[in-house]
Amino acid sequence: MLGLSTEKYASVRGNKRLTVILIGIITFILVSVLTFSRATFGLSSCGRTIRTFNEAVAFSTSSSPQQQQHTTFINLNGIEATAEGKEKQEHVLILTPLKNASPYLARYFELIDRMTYPKHLISIAFLVSDTTDDTVELLKEQANVFLNRRDPEQRYHHVAIYEKDFNFELPEDKRHTFELQPLRRSYMARSRNYLLTAALREEHAWVLWLDVDLVEYPTTILEDLMSVNVDVVVPNCLRETEDNSFWGYDKNNWQETEQSLAMQKDLDPEYVLLEGYYEFLTNRALMVDMPTHLGQLNKVPLDGVGATFTLVKAVVHREGANFPPYVFQHQVETEGFAKMAKAMGFGVYGLPGYLIYHVMNQ
Ligand SMILES: Nc1nc2c(ncn2[C@@H]2O[C@H](COP(=O)(O)OP(=O)(O)OP(=O)(O)O)[C@@H](O)[C@H]2O)c(=O)[nH]1
Ligand SMILES: [Mg+2]
């Protein structure tokens, strides 16, 4: 009996072991099939396709909360904007705000591309606002050309397109109405600040504010303006004319005078002064009225600037001078920027003899 029952027990124990092993094998196969089928058919949480066991392990570690993050260390002491920008390989960031700008883009890109400054040192960034035409599509097409040319020497460093609507609508025939200028310019200021904060990177030594509707400027303009070696510099922006007659365009480049400062003493601090309007005369000295024969690079100090073509050492923006959308010393936007830069101790200059041209419009 004893011998028989021992045999029975032994065979029962043997069967149990076999069953446990079988269950183990089946479970392993099921789990493996489930795991790999989820991954292979792209059902993993991030939609990635995992093909090998090693990838599966890597995937599980990469999404672990203990993932190693690396600190970014950038020494900002090394960024310099000098008179020898080209030789010292200094990067330039071109910034252009845009609104329904497609008619101007072909000429805008042609002029940029003609410049002799090395393309690999140029980044371009756009802020497109409240736009209904095909500006964004045209920008994408041109960016693709500028970034992917066969010759690496001809490729630009970076192109970025930002879109931000302010839902600011102004009928085309009211764009230059005197009373609406502070509001229009305040929205322009917001656009410029958005663009600046989105696009400025650590490599940029210079920022060039460039309006889309210029029709002519010299190919060496970046090297020329850099050679003046000041914090903010603007050329003299005229209006394109059919008979090549001299017709000043950008009246936002100006100097305060004794009379203009005296008049401001009694002015409501919230009052925004504007140039080029008969409604309120400011008595400032406009750069478009200054002598142009004293040499292309002859510089004059300015207190207000426009931004059709304004070259700024990036340090000026980095340290905090931007485009006030509120009233700062009676100015907003670009002229407010000049006032702010001066209040911070930066130098702001214009070149009356260095001529560039804005499209003729109403
Ligand atoms: N993001 C943005 N850009 C704008 C807006 N209005 C104009 N722009 C762009 O800002 C730049 C300067 O605007 P312009 O309309 O040329 O201003 P302006 O030179 O004072 O006026 P015009 O004499 O009509 O040329 C151009 O590149 C425009 O495309 C706006 O509301 N938002
Ligand atoms: Mg314009």
Domain count, the chain: 2
- Furthest C-alpha separation in the chain: 129
In this structure, the answer to whether residues 199 and 243 fall within a common structural domain is: yes
Q: Which among 211, 277, 323 is the best mutation to test ligand 1's pocket, defined by most ligand atoms within 8 Å of the CB?
A: 211
| Cβ atoms of 101 and 359 closer than 8 Å | no
Closest listed ligand to the CA of 166: 1
User: What's the CA-to-centroid distance between 358 and ligand 2, angstroms?
Assistant: 7
User: Could you tell me the residue range of the domain that residue 22 belongs to?
Assistant: 2-62
The CATH number linked to 172 is 3.90.550.10
Q: CB of 210 closer than 6 A to ligand 1?
A: no
In this structure, the answer to whether residues 39 and 102 fall within a common structural domain is: no
In this structure, the answer to whether residues 259 and 200 fall within a common structural domain is: yes
In this structure, the answer to whether residues 30 and 94 fall within a common structural domain is: no
Q: What is the pLDDT of residues 90-133, one digit of tens each?
A: 999 999 999 999 999 999 999 999 999 999 999 999 999 999 99
For the record, the structure tokens of 314 come out as 């990036």
In this structure, the answer to whether residues 104 and 33 fall within a common structural domain is: no
Q: CB of 127 closer than 6 A to ligand 1?
A: yes
Q: Please count the CA atoms within 13 angstroms of the CA of 215 that sit on its side-chain side.
A: 12
Phi (first) and psi of residue 141, to 5 degrees: -60, -50
Low-confidence ranges of the chain (pLDDT < 50): 1-10, 12, 34-48, 53, 57-61
Q: CB of 193 closer than 6 A to ligand 1?
A: no
- From the CA of 212, give the closest atom in ligand 1: 27
In this structure, the answer to whether residues 221 and 341 fall within a common structural domain is: yes
d(C-alpha 360, C-alpha 193), whole Å: 27
Q: Is residue 83 part of a domain?
A: no
In this structure, the answer to whether residues 102 and 40 fall within a common structural domain is: no
Q: CB of 96 closer than 6 A to ligand 1?
A: yes
In this structure, the answer to whether residues 19 and 124 fall within a common structural domain is: no
In this structure, the answer to whether residues 308 and 257 fall within a common structural domain is: yes
In this structure, the answer to whether residues 192 and 257 fall within a common structural domain is: yes
In this structure, the answer to whether residues 152 and 290 fall within a common structural domain is: yes
In this structure, the answer to whether residues 36 and 146 fall within a common structural domain is: no
For the record, the structure tokens of 31 come out as 């789990």
Q: Which among 95, 96, 99 is the best mutation to test ligand 1's pocket, defined by most ligand atoms within 8 Å of the CB?
A: 99
Residue 63: predicted pLDDT: 54
Q: What is the pTM (predicted TM-score) of this model? A: 0.83
Residue 207: predicted pLDDT: 99
Residue 85: CB atoms within 10 Å: 24
Residue 6: predicted pLDDT: 44
